[in-house]
Chain A
Amino acid sequence: MPKYAMVIDLQSCVGCGACSIACKNENNLSEGIFWSSKITETVGTFPNVRYHYMPTLCNHCEDAPCVRGCPTQAMHKLDNGITMHDTKKCIGCRYCMYNCPYGVISFNWEKPFKFWRDDEPVLKGCTPSPQEVVRKVNNGTATPYYNPARAETLAGARPKGVVEKCTFCDHRVKRGELPYCVEACPANARVFGDLENGTHEIKFLLGKFRAFRLKEHLGTKPKVYYIRNFNPAAYDRTKGGV
């Protein structure tokens, strides 16, 4: 049985956000919900200043606190290491969100796709309302860009009152395809693969570079690894002074 993991090469990542957009399209994410997101940081003061960008997603922890805390096993581990969520079993207690040290689980506070339920046209007498577009394109059942493939393993669009998070695009992985964020990354900064396969590129990267994971000290054993870091800054070598 494979054990899936992802390596993110921070030197290759340009911070374009294509991963986040691809993820939203593939997984029918509602407004305000990001399974693929980022942590940014600006350090220093002008002119000695630098911007850091780190893509984030569910870490699919081996010892996942969200899975341990879920009272109904709605949050559970698959044999291939993916941390999966079952919408039907979710009671909406949000204890997984309370337990997750990475803040990567979202809750559907209201019915999804609020924008597409709006019956006000953008320009009166000129453009249709979002609601009309939905009715014409998809018989009023989903958004115009709804991806039916997502519904193969999870509710196509999650209803209000339940949580949701990244599934490593398990529906694509099942078909032998890569997670869509990996597919969409223009810089090939995301590498996905099987940790059990000794010859896989992911094993090469983890052996060649000093990989780190987020909040490793907690012992959750995340399956998203980060390697390298981009920094073109140079400085004149001195010993400083007093």
Chain B
Amino acid sequence: MKGRLWIGLLSLGILLGLVTAFRVFSTGFVLYAKTDILVWTMPLAAYIFFSLTSSGLAFVSSIPIVFGIKRYEPLEKRTVFLEIAVLMAGFVCLIMHLGSPLNVIYLLLSPNLASPLWWLAMLYGVYLAVLLASFWRIQTAQVSKTLSTLVFLIAIATSTALGWLLGLPDARPAMNGSFLTVYFPLTAFACGLAAVLLFSLAYARASGNPNPTSAAQADLYDEVAKVFGVVIGVTLVLFIWRAIIGGVSSSEVELGAFRRMMQSLSFQTELWLGLVAPFVLMLIPSVRVTTWGKVLASLLLLVGMFAGRLEFILTAEIMPFGQLGEGVPQFVSYLPTISEVLVALFGLAVMLLLYTLGERYLNLDGTQEKSEAGT
């Protein structure tokens, strides 16, 4: 009964998403809170959130196969499947962001190799194909180290290329630079660890298959939580340095938008909910060993990181320049529309439905029997 209700809820989310898609592509993007100033908003932030989380999951899934730390093997299958489900959610949000999605055929017919966006599109296409192949090998108990290594390398490329995409433009000095090419893979790893903990512990418990089922598994989750704490700590330090440099620097034109965003809800959510709170939770040993501690920290980090992706995009845009600044305030504000929220929920529902079906039919707890020899 509980399972049916869950599937029903997810189906409703997808149905609402499909209705939104129909309305957006028939009426236009006026359903979004977009203008020629705020050209990228929540649908793209959701895409970045999901795609980076997928890359982070790839980092986690590479631990047992690529780096040979065998005690992480029980996580492998679930993590790889989660990567696929999360990536599909990213694709849903990306399609809802593009104005003319059918023209993507020109990515192949008329490629521009100088464009980070072209590289991202190609890398994500290959990424999905390799991920599917990798999961198939795991499913058939023939784990391929070659495919896993490829997934790991592409995940590094995609997460850094997203930093290239947002950090390249001279037009957006608040973003310009290499900071994002470091920050994105790091936070991707944090999101990957959070997703593994959340889905292995909370989701399993909710579906009536509580984890951990053995002392060895409990130790493994404790170890993941420790790594999780370390990664959040490093991220927090990087985040604080960005705030100090951006807040103290006198480059008003370059960093005025960032300073404005430091007062925003998304920035504060990323800092306090997404970084400080989970870091504190993971620092306290008595909390860290509990299931609720791990689950709460993971959930907070994911919520905070979603807000963070939005914060990064808005930082680039809220300060209009050139003729865009005519007749508008020095900073513009943003509040997502219902359609934009439904797009993010559409992606989430697709991901959760795929994962639910995977849990039900693909035995994601299963461990591999044999590995590919010599590779």
**Residues of A with Cβ closer than 8 Å to B?**
34, 37-40, 56, 65, 68-74, 88-95, 97-111, 160-162, 214, 218, 220
A161 touches B106 (CB 8 A): no
B118 touches A71 (CB 8 A): yes
Q: How far, in whole Å, are A74 and B99 apart by their CA atoms in the complex? A: 14
Contacts beyond the supplied A72-B112, A99-B168: 6 A-B pairs with Cβ under 8 Å:
A34-B323, A92-B99, A95-B117, A98-B39, A98-B40, A103-B325
Say whether B169 faces chain A, with CB atoms less than 8 Å apart: yes
Say whether B247 faces chain A, with CB atoms less than 8 Å apart: no
Q: How far, in whole Å, are A14 and B171 apart by their CA atoms in the complex? A: 29
Q: How far, in whole Å, are A158 and B264 apart by their CA atoms in the complex? A: 36
A162 touches B100 (CB 8 A): yes
Q: How far, in whole Å, are A92 and B324 apart by their CA atoms in the complex? A: 19
Q: Which residues of A contact B374 (CB under 8 A)?
A: none
Q: Which of A103, A104, A111 has the most CB of B within 10 A?
A: A103
B168 touches A69 (CB 8 A): yes
B215 to chain A minimum Cβ distance, whole angstroms, is: 50
Q: Looking across the interface, which residue of chain B has its beta carbon closest to that of A92?
A: B99
- Given the contacts A91-B107, A94-B39, A107-B36, A70 and B323 also touching, CB distance less than 8 Å: no
Q: Which residues of A contact B112 (CB under 8 A)?
A: 68, 70-73
- Given the contacts A69-B117, A98-B40, A99-B171, A89 and B323 also touching, CB distance less than 8 Å: no
B305 to chain A minimum Cβ distance, whole angstroms, is: 21
Q: How far, in whole Å, are A40 and B325 apart by their CA atoms in the complex? A: 9
B99 touches A72 (CB 8 A): no
Q: Looking across the interface, which residue of chain A has its beta carbon closest to that of B32?
A: A109
Q: Which residues of B contact A97 (CB under 8 A)?
A: 36, 39
Instruction: List the 4 shortest-distance A-B pairs measured between CB atoms, nearest first.
Output: A92-B99, A110-B28, A161-B99, A103-B322
Q: Looking across the interface, which residue of chain A has its beta carbon closest to that of B327?
A: A40
Q: Which residues of B contact A107 (CB under 8 A)?
A: 29, 34, 36, 39, 99
Say whether B177 faces chain A, with CB atoms less than 8 Å apart: no
Q: Which residues of B contact A34 (CB under 8 A)?
A: 323
Q: Which residues of A contact B106 (CB under 8 A)?
A: 72-74, 88-89, 91
Q: How far, in whole Å, are A70 and B40 apart by their CA atoms in the complex? A: 15
Q: Which of B98, B168, B321, B325 is the one whose CB lies under 8 Å from A92?
A: B98
Say whether B226 faces chain A, with CB atoms less than 8 Å apart: no
Say whether B369 faces chain A, with CB atoms less than 8 Å apart: no
Q: Give the contacts of B133-180 with A (CB-CB under 8 A).
A: 165, 168-172
- Given the contacts A109-B28, A162-B100, A69 and B115 also touching, CB distance less than 8 Å: yes
Q: Looking across the interface, which residue of chain A has its beta carbon closest to that of B121?
A: A71
25 inter-chain pairs at a CB distance below 8 angstroms, sorted by A residue, are: A34-B323, A68-B115, A69-B114, A72-B109, A72-B111, A72-B112, A74-B106, A88-B106, A89-B103, A91-B98, A92-B99, A92-B100, A94-B99, A99-B171, A101-B170, A101-B171, A107-B39, A109-B35, A110-B27, A110-B30, A160-B28, A160-B99, A161-B29, A161-B99, A162-B100
Say whether B358 faces chain A, with CB atoms less than 8 Å apart: no
- Given the contacts A98-B39, A109-B28, A161-B100, A214 and B117 also touching, CB distance less than 8 Å: no
- Given the contacts A71-B121, A103-B36, A106-B36, A92 and B103 also touching, CB distance less than 8 Å: yes
